[in-house]
Amino acid sequence: MKTTWNLGERSTGVLKVTVSGDVWTSAQEKAFNKLAQNVELPGFRKGQAPKALIRKQLKESSIMMEAVEAVANEAYLFGLKEHELNPITTPQLDVEGMTEADVTLVFDVTVAPDVQLGEYKGLTVVRNEVAVEQADIDARLEKMREDFAELVVKEDGVVAMGDTAVIDFEGFKDGVAFEGGKGENHPLVIGSNSFIPGFEEQVVGMAVNEEKEISVTFPEDYGAANLAGAPVVFKVKVNEVKVRQVPELNDDFAKEINAPGVETFEELVEKLRMDIYGEKEKSAADAYDNDLLGKVVEASTVEIPAVMIEDETGAMFEDFKRRLEQQGFNIDMYSQITGQTQEFLKEQIGKDAEGKVKVRLVLSAVAKSEGLNATEEEIDQEFTSIAAAYNMEVDQVKQYIQPQQISYDLRLKKAFDFIKESANN
């Protein structure tokens, strides 16, 4: 077999393999025998007629195309080995020329892209210093107070901004009650903007048992067409007024939090200080890792094949759909709520997909450059860790994850660890 390889843009090239001699002759013979089995001639059992008669019933082009199918895989593998190619997709096959003497097969092949690494050793990235300010603790305490706040009946019974008014209401358009416009003992947080614009402001100042007519206009883009842009009147009665009461910051509050090892307010403050420090420390570490990896990736050059971006986009989109389903949604519901089509979502995801692919390609190139590989022991340990994390048997995990994937992931991790260890801190 004779082969040629021409690499084009974005790691896509043309591999030509010319098959001749005994290999091509044998392929045609096998093709003829296969097709002959289905030829029926009067006076002979199916496939048992003399070859000369059968050959008259078969087109030479049919025999040759069958021969191409028989020899294509062998020719393809021969060409890959000859030029040391590492394909990442199934190739497209075409036939350039075909005679009884030889055939030239043309494979459109996308190969793993060549990465031109930039500087990845001895890089300098500034890591943010971590400190917990009193304002951080105060903000966390205030949030906790809000979380533990209780609604209590307001003594003066007059609605103010921020109160919860328990109301009965019924809406009328042109003097006729409309569907969906009635509610009883509805807790309305004044200032939440959960009702039609202008409604909540007119409830302010109403007293318990007071009744009032409130005039408002529905927004032009309101969901119900019969109400969009329409002026309406709501008859409203205030049944009860409640106010949020936040707890005092003392030892009783600290105990109510029910945090392990916390009995006093001072212990609560110290716990929050440690928690916030840990969060900031993780955030600083993540930022450092991202900046360091960003420098390495930015300094490297690689033409990413479109198919790799498409595959990554598809995988990320499927993961997005799974996370929606875990929250009780599906992709159609999400599209209706947000007004974003699936095509738009894939386009947005695709922007991140290209970056993720480049990161993996660059780290893989670093691993290759430094001879970093995962040992069998490390792969086994990773399988054990995954099994423990998901409360599964190791053999079960191996049914879902191939050792090659574990090895690949560990190589990328080793590559990044190498970059961090060589960095100037």
pLDDT digits (tens, 9 = 90+) for 75-117: 999 999 999 888 888 889 999 888 889 999 999 999 889 899 9
Q: At what angle do helices 21-36 and 60-83 cross, to 10 degrees?
A: 140
- 397 within some domain: yes
- 179 within some domain: yes
- 117 within some domain: no
Contacts of 107 (CB under 8 A, 6+ apart): 14, 15, 16, 17, 76, 79, 91, 92, 93
- 141 within some domain: no
pLDDT digits (tens, 9 = 90+) for 288-318: 999 999 999 999 999 899 889 999 999 999 9
Supply the range of the domain harboring residue 234.
150-245
- 259 within some domain: no
Residues 86 and 156 in one domain: no
For residue 1, the model assigns a pLDDT of 86
Residues 231 and 319 in one domain: no
> Which pair of tokens denotes residue 52?
């000369």
DSSP helix/strand/coil, 12: strand
The predicted model gives 258-280 an average pLDDT of 94
Residues 196 and 312 in one domain: no
Q: Structurally, how many domains does the chain consist of?
A: 3
Residues 284 and 346 in one domain: yes
For residue 88, the model assigns a pLDDT of 85
Residues 71 and 158 in one domain: no
Q: Between vectors from CA 59 to CA 54 and to CA 62, what angle results, nearest 5°?
A: 110
3-state secondary structure 136-168: HHHHHHHHHHHHCCEEEECCCCECCCCCEEEEE
Residues 31 and 91 in one domain: yes
| Bridging pattern class, strands 164-173 and 176-189 | antiparallel
CATH code, domain carrying 79: 3.30.70.1050
For residue 53, the model assigns a pLDDT of 59
> CB–CB of 331/344 below 8 Å?
no
The predicted model gives 149-154 an average pLDDT of 92
pLDDT digits (tens, 9 = 90+) for 242-257: 999 999 999 999 999 8
